[in-house]
Structure 1
Amino acid sequence: MATNLWRLDIPLEGNPLKNLNSYLITGEERSLLIDTGFRQDSCRRALTDQLAETGVDRETLDIFLTHLHSDHTGLAPDFVGAGGRIYISETDGAGLRLGLTDGYWRDMYEEYVREGFPREEIDRLWLANPAQGAAPRNWSAGCVTLRDGDRLSYGGVTLRCILTPGHTPGHMCLYGEEPRWLFSGDHVLFHITPNICRWQSMPDALGCYLESLEKLRGLPTERLLPGHRKETGDLDTRIGQLEEHHRHRLNEVLDIVGSAPGRTAYEIAGRMRWSIRSTWREFPVQQKFFALGECLAHLDYLERRGRICRRERDGLIRYSLLP
């Protein structure tokens, strides 16, 4: 891609995301690896082989994680060099540690059951959810947390940290100021739209995401480096497309809620349009989990703005329009 910039294509087998773009910036003393893939053998082999092709000394590797999701963080402790640093935002660093506990997932799954997710499907997620099973282990070693505006320097490039909450509470992009590189993680994707779901620590995830998109508008960018698939077009155009996507989503949710008051979020999600080509009944349970999370983020956005209300009845939360 450039004399000291490499894109590593890490396959995400059986996952609709298809791949992770891991990036490497090489330097004379230390090199920086951006995102790593799941803690799975297929990701480990691909990352090992492609790093060898670059000729980088793995003992000099530091790692930057755009956010806490396991397809980005899973292999970080295994690939950081001796005495190296693993960078992540302060918020997502705390969230990642919390997500390594069974209690965190138990509480989330119980919340999803109250939102209508069938208990028998939730029970299957304990064995099938890669967000749970492919996350990193032995997380504490070498972790350095970052805040908005912090700077790193690798290979002669100064990288500014831009905090962009929404996809996760502490998602962070990296902006190379002189070459105008933007490592956008999962904040701005091109062939697919980032999943925006409910987070306990971020009551209005969609609102935060839309505000974070504005932080990047007008940023001079020569090279766009997203976390998945390939880049297409320019940054401001894509920001507009993502905003329009969520406007359509919000209207879709309002129409579904209005057509039959008292549905659960699970029932609403089952009536939304998804790019996956199967009926809601045939959806893989992992994809239902992410679809429900996105539905909840849109319901939360509408509730906070006085468009809908939620009421609990018989242990389930149901949604209706407000006048």
Structure 2
Amino acid sequence: MAERVGKNLWRLDIPLVGNPLKNLNSYLLTGPRSLLIDTGFRQGPCRAAMERQLEEIGVDRDRLDIFLTHLHSDHTGLAPELIRPGCRVYIGRVDGARLTAPDQEGRWRTIFTEYVRDGFSPEEMERLWDTNPAKVAAPPPWDGYTFLEDGDVLTYGESRLRCVLTPGHTPGYLCLYDEESRRLFCGDHVLFHITPNICRWDGVEDSLGDYLRSLERVKSLEVTELLPAHRSETGDLCRRAEELAAHHARRIENAWETVRRRPGLTAYEIAGHMAWSIRCRSWEDFPLTQKFFAVGEALAHLDYLEARGRVERRERAGKWTYHALTGNTNIL
């Protein structure tokens, strides 16, 4: 059921069935022209919940635009089918370029090939080909997006929403900031109870370093209302940003100690020795999709260490392995 959370502002609860995230908080600003922020997977339960709640609110679908915080499929999946003629789907230029790049199938094959080099077996990656929601629940190829840049402003009713570039969770992540109401639509950039997944991105040297800098950037905003994309929890922006930075400091240390004590492991093997908040007795018990995200996060932390000269990557029998380097002991 849609929940009114402010004047002309609604939160739509979109279920992510079978996914540990459980739900997506999609936000709707209503007025003469309305703005929907994020959409859910391209899956039946998301579609049904979105359609039902938009109907409950009574929004004019012919005057409804969509803003996508980033390219992940739980945020973008339904956008092309929800939009109507004369309406716009906004996304940041950096993420939009990735979302609309030609040969998406080939792009995923390249990603899966790299994950085999990082320690997955070819059989594991083939099993993920038709089951990973990041791939199978993404929007179909579509070229109707309107690209936005850092600092661009969208005006809907009484809300002037400034785009704030916060790379890390994705390379071109955009938050929306309403300075007058001191409201920040932060999506996955800042979450409570759970932490945003920070993974390696092709063409990005240090996505974790980008994320930590982005946390510092949003701390400078005056925010009294923080609207995250998952779960019902919210709270103080600065305090939570500091907690997230501390969480990653611990995980950096965890990755570093694993490499130092066990030289020559792949990222897959390193992830198996790291600490994760998941109800599994061992790495072998992890669901395969969760292994995919855990290895991606381990890679981001290894990239952070490599960028600071603390580890190096070496190829061995077609696999990438990691080794600690001596010298500067400052890893943060």
Structures share a fold, TM > 0.5?
A: yes
1:47 aligns with 2:43: no
Query: Over residues 88-145 of structure 1, what are the superposed CA-to-partner deviations in whole Å (9 max), with x where a residue is unaligned?
Result: 000000111238611101101111101111111111011111111111124212x110
SS in 2 for 1:303: helix
Q: Equivalents in 2 of 1:153, 1:258: separation in Å?
A: 52
Which residue of 2 is the match for residue 176 of structure 1?
178
Q: Equivalents in 2 of 1:138, 1:230: separation in Å?
A: 32
Deviation at 1:233, TM superposition (A): 2.5
Q: Equivalents in 1 of 2:139, 2:316: separation in Å?
A: 39
Q: What is the aligned length?
A: 321
SS in 2 for 1:98: coil
Deviation at 1:82, TM superposition (A): 2.2
Deviation at 1:39, TM superposition (A): 0.2
Cα distance 1:25–1:100, how it changes in 2: closer, same or farther (>3 A)?
farther
1:38 aligns with 2:36: no
**Correspondence for 1:89 among 82, 89, 92:** 92
Which residue of 2 is the match for residue 267 of structure 1?
269
**Contact 1:169 1:201 (8 Å CA) reproduced:** no
Which residue of 2 is the match for residue 18 of structure 1?
22
Where in structure 2 are the equivalents of 1:34-183 lying within 5 Å?
A: 34-98=37-101, 101-141=104-144, 143-183=145-185
Which residue of 1 is the match for residue 330 of structure 2?
none
1:4 aligns with 2:8: yes
Where in structure 2 are the equivalents of 1:158-307 lying within 5 Å?
A: 158-278=160-280, 279-307=282-310
Deviation at 1:238, TM superposition (A): 0.3
Which residue of 1 is the match for residue 329 of structure 2?
none
Q: Name structure 2 gaps, 5 residues minimum.
A: 327-332
Task: Provide the alpha-carbon RMSD of the alignment.
Answer: 1.0
SS in 2 for 1:128: coil
Q: Equivalents in 2 of 1:219, 1:160: separation in Å?
A: 11
SS in 2 for 1:10: strand
Cα distance 1:225–1:99, how it changes in 2: closer, same or farther (>3 A)?
farther
Q: Equivalents in 2 of 1:81, 1:229: separation in Å?
A: 29
What one-letter code is carried by the residue in structure 2 that aligns with 1:10? I
Q: Equivalents in 2 of 1:254, 1:203: separation in Å?
A: 18
SS in 1 for 2:284: helix
**Contact 1:22 1:33 (8 Å CA) reproduced:** yes
Q: Equivalents in 2 of 1:223, 1:54: separation in Å?
A: 22
Cα distance 1:71–1:171, how it changes in 2: closer, same or farther (>3 A)?
same
**TM-score, normalised via structure 2 length:** 0.95
1:309 aligns with 2:322: no
SS in 2 for 1:145: strand
Q: Equivalents in 2 of 1:61, 1:189: separation in Å?
A: 27
Deviation at 1:230, TM superposition (A): 2.3
Deviation at 1:185, TM superposition (A): 1.1
Structure 1 runs (4+) greater than 6 angstroms displaced: none
What one-letter code is carried by the residue in structure 2 that aligns with 1:12? L
Q: Equivalents in 1 of 2:307, 2:65: separation in Å?
A: 40
Query: Over residues 48-88 of structure 1, what are the superposed CA-to-partner deviations in whole Å (9 max), with x where a residue is unaligned?
Result: 11111111111111000000000000000111232100000
Q: Equivalents in 1 of 2:315, 2:249: separation in Å?
A: 27
**Contact 2:224 2:236 (8 Å CA) reproduced:** no
Deviation at 1:285, TM superposition (A): 1.0
Higher mean displacement: 61-70 or 220-229: 220-229
Query: Over residues 146-202 of structure 1, what are the superposed CA-to-partner deviations in whole Å (9 max), with x where a residue is unaligned?
Result: 000000000211000000000000000000111111000111111110000000121
Q: Equivalents in 2 of 1:228, 1:81: separation in Å?
A: 26
Q: Equivalents in 2 of 1:116, 1:290: separation in Å?
A: 13
Between the two proteins, what is the percent identity of the paired residues? 61
What one-letter code is carried by the residue in structure 1 that aligns with 2:50? L
